[in-house]
Amino acid sequence: MTDQTPSTTYSATEIMTVTAARALSAEDVCFVGIGAPSAACNLARLTHAPGVTLIYESGTIDTKPQVLPLSIGDGELCETALTTVSVPEMFRYWLQGGRITVGFLGGAQIDRYANLNTTVVGDYDKPKVRLPGGGGAPEIATNCGEIFITMAMSPRAFVDKLPFITSFGHGTGAGSREALGVKTKGPTRVFTDLCVLEPHPDTKELQVVTLHPGVTRERVQEQCGWPVKFADDCSETPAPTAEELKILRDLHERTKLAHQGEA
């Protein structure tokens, strides 16, 4: 039986990961991003959603890694997958075919309508920082049934205006996706180290729906580059349980040992 006793000692990253993991169900087919999304998805698989189907961009289907992958090309993904298909098949048949219920993404920057930037910071032709780029994220953002986003909050990450939109969220607000002929829901939840945000049903602007324990509205506003809105029924995020933290920490410890060559 899972221990549901809340733990009083956890990090901001841990509650972000645990809260994101809880959003997945055993019935989901999930396109997984590397990093924080991968940690959340695998925590869900190891706890309440053992039947969740995890798919990575390299073509691995129903993968069950024992350690978190360093990249989509990590051998752990192929070795533990039910099967591996070509990347063109992954995108054309699985993703564009509407077979994936949830895409789990992160990003360098996000705006109030959940558009993501992973391309440049600053002017595109002469950027301050050249980021890794979109990879498969732009296609994931428009073709998965819905999108979950996991990002730590900071004024540099949550910005009023993106210098470049890599992955389309809700554009400039309600109706933007529909105007482009996009029929999927787009971003439905943003999980951060301070709170959880969801698009307002009418405007599609992100609003805070739960605050993590001990986090104030003022703290959230300090870490956000636009005037934050809070849902009328904004509540407190349930704290991680002792069992969730144990499984997450064990996963990270196995990953650390494996990547150091000590496992």
Catalytic residues: 57
Burial class (CB in 10 A: 0-12, 13-18, 19+), 180: exposed
Beta bridge partners of 199: 206
Spatial contact of 171 and 113, defined as CB atoms under 8 Å apart: yes
User: Which H or E element spans position 102?
Assistant: strand 102-105
Read off the tokens for 12: 């901001």
Taking residue 256's Cβ as centre, other Cβ atoms within 10 Å add up to 13
Distance CA 50, CA 122 (A): 42
32 to each of 39, 52, 132, how far by Cα in Å?
9, 11, 17
Distance CA 167, CA 105 (A): 10
Nearest partner of 76 among 102, 38, 30, judged by Cα: 38
* DSSP 8-state symbol, 167: B
* DSSP 8-state symbol, 91: I
The one-letter amino acid at 36: A
Taking residue 83's Cβ as centre, other Cβ atoms within 10 Å add up to 10
Read off the tokens for 61: 């289907």
